Copies of this chain bind each other. A is one copy, B any other.
Amino acid sequence: MSLVTGDDISAAAGRLAGRIVRTPLLSCRRLSDDLGLDVLVKAENLQHAGSFKVRGAQNALLARAERGQLPAGIATFSAGNHAAAAAYAGWVLGLPTVVCMPPGAVDVKVAAVKRYGGEVVFTDDLAGTCHAVAAERGYALLHPFDDLDVIAGAGTVGAELAADAGSLELVLVPVGGGGLISGIAAAVKAVSPATRVVGVEPVTANAVTHGLRHGALVPLPRRPVSLADGLTAPYAGEHTLAHIEAHVDVIVEVPEQVIARAWWELLDATKLLVEPSAAVGLAALRLGLVETVPEARVALVLSGGNVASATLAQIGQN
């Protein structure tokens, strides 16, 4: 299976220039002092449409256009940030977008699709309905994570991180279906092989750990549910699993309660509103799941900032 290269990621960065926010890499003294580390955060919550996903969605469409394959429209499926990102990408490129979402999708993520003019189809059979919509309308099907162009787009997060951080001992990346960490690991290892890239999944939504044991595309035995709703992919992709096997040092799992505490701590210490998915890296550090030497330079990828109203309402109660 072919893997995304540093050159692919550079090409993606070229396509995305001016179309994405080059998000800041911020040093957090409070977290650094508390953890005895040098903690940086990559603030993808400040990205257009509120998450890193606009990088992959736009790169996928722009790369297809370069190959003479720009479709008449986009059909995609997602319960989360990819939904808004695909609608955003369609909107800026003038393509109609249909997003298949589960009936229980959180309010802000549905509203975000509509904000960018996307059409929402609620369905329990996300992939099946999406294939049907694509066939019926002659639209291209865009997979939310298991696509080499989507992975290369996500990789631009890693390229920016590596360029801005200087020497870096460790990067902690939230893991759902594996698209973000596939891109980041490819980018970071291309320029700094000694930097450890560690993925973090919720215990209750561990599709990649499951995939590493049972194979790509094998669904989890139970529907994943987590406060980190952005990480509840039902299976790991073929492409993503190949990238993870090639480049990622280890995947660790964190329980719900620790995610909630880490999320609160991030808000309080960094003044950044992130979604719970973005807090799994800090949760892993807090649990001591990742070995670090004192004062090591560690980057947390804050993948997005789209918080459901119901989740936000819990903030004050913590």
Chain A residues near B (Cβ < 8 Å): 21, 24, 26-27, 29, 45-46, 48, 50, 267, 270-274, 305, 309, 312-317
Q: What's the Cα separation between A76 and B178 when bound, in Å?
A: 52
Contact A312 B313 (CB under 8 A): no
Q: What's the Cα separation between A29 and B92 when bound, in Å?
A: 13
A112's nearest neighbour on chain B, judged by CB, is B30
11 A-B pairs, CB-CB below 8 angstroms?
A21-B26, A21-B27, A26-B46, A45-B271, A46-B270, A46-B272, A271-B273, A273-B273, A312-B315, A313-B316, A313-B317
Q: In the assembled complex, which residues on chain B have CB atoms less than 8 Å from the CB atom of A274?
A: 271
- Least distance between A263 CB and chain B CB atoms (Å): 12
Q: What's the Cα separation between A271 and B46 when bound, in Å?
A: 6
Q: In the assembled complex, which residues on chain B have CB atoms less than 8 Å from the CB atom of A313?
A: 315-317
Pick from B26, B27, B46, B272: contact of A273, CB below 8 A: B272
- Least distance between A224 CB and chain B CB atoms (Å): 25
Q: What's the Cα separation between A225 and B190 when bound, in Å?
A: 56
Q: What's the Cα separation between A264 and B270 when bound, in Å?
A: 18
Pick from B21, B45, B48, B316: contact of A314, CB below 8 A: B316
Q: In the assembled complex, which residues on chain B have CB atoms less than 8 Å from the CB atom of A312?
A: 315-316
Q: In the assembled complex, which residues on chain B have CB atoms less than 8 Å from the CB atom of A309?
A: 316
